[in-house]
Amino acid sequence: MISCNNSEIKVPGNHTEKADPSQLNMPSISMDSPESLEIALKNDSLNTDIRLKLAAQYYTNKNFDKALYHYLFINRHDNRNMAALFNLGNVYYDMQQDQLAIKYYEKFLEADKSNSNVRCDLATCYMNLNNIEKGISLLRENIKINFNHPQSHYNLSVMLKQTGKKAEADAEMNIYNNLVSDQGGMSPQ
């Protein structure tokens, strides 16, 4: 087995010998590349840290099927792993599978009721499933917990506008604009 610095080989007896990497007849790959993480998992398939890194790589590269495989694997072995719950919600959200995203976001919020980003995305999922009132309710709850969460005000504005509540929608958009300008942020497109 190759150690983390890619210049040592573990040999039986738990000692380490220096090796010339060019003599290993292996392609040069980063230790954080999906390939190296897959190799590491072959040696330690239950290593949650490696599996989370690998799933995050796949997610970043928009390889949602592989990301799901690894997040679901973690969730099957530890259904309270917050990173897996959060990221399962995000992957399903990005795949526009809102019902499944809701399942994992709600499980996440059972353990971390104060997470504004998850509740905001959960509200969006409900909106996408034509349950705008539930989305509005979640965003109002979010704003009570964290008034300075700009995306909650923005999304609430959008939902209120869809329900014909233009004055309330405009007020929320004004709050959003003030928060973003105070924070030096940019508006979503």
Give 82-125 pLDDT, tens digit per residue. 999 999 999 999 999 999 999 999 999 999 999 999 999 999 99
State which residues form the domain around 66: 30-95
Confirm whether 179 is domain-assigned.
yes
Confirm whether 52 is domain-assigned.
yes
Query: Does 118 lie in the same domain as 89?
Result: no
Query: Does 188 lie in the same domain as 136?
Result: yes
User: Alpha helices of the chain — where are they, by DSSP H?
Assistant: 34-43, 48-60, 64-77, 82-94, 98-111, 116-128, 132-145, 150-162, 166-183
CATH of the domain at 69: 1.25.40.10
Number of domains making up the chain? 2
Confirm whether 21 is domain-assigned.
no
Tell me the C-alpha distance between 55 and 171, whole Å: 40
Confirm whether 1 is domain-assigned.
no
Residue 28 pLDDT > 50:
no
Confidence bin at 187 (pLDDT 50/70/90): low
Tell me the C-alpha distance between 52 and 83, whole Å: 8
Query: Does 162 lie in the same domain as 122?
Result: yes
Query: Does 130 lie in the same domain as 63?
Result: no
Which of 66, 95, 124 is a domain's end point? 95
Single-letter code of the amino acid located at 11: V
The model carries a pTM of 0.77
Confirm whether 58 is domain-assigned.
yes
Residue 19 pLDDT > 50:
no
Confirm whether 107 is domain-assigned.
no
Confirm whether 166 is domain-assigned.
yes
Query: Does 189 lie in the same domain as 122?
Result: yes
Tell me the C-alpha distance between 114 and 57, whole Å: 27
Query: Does 120 lie in the same domain as 74?
Result: no
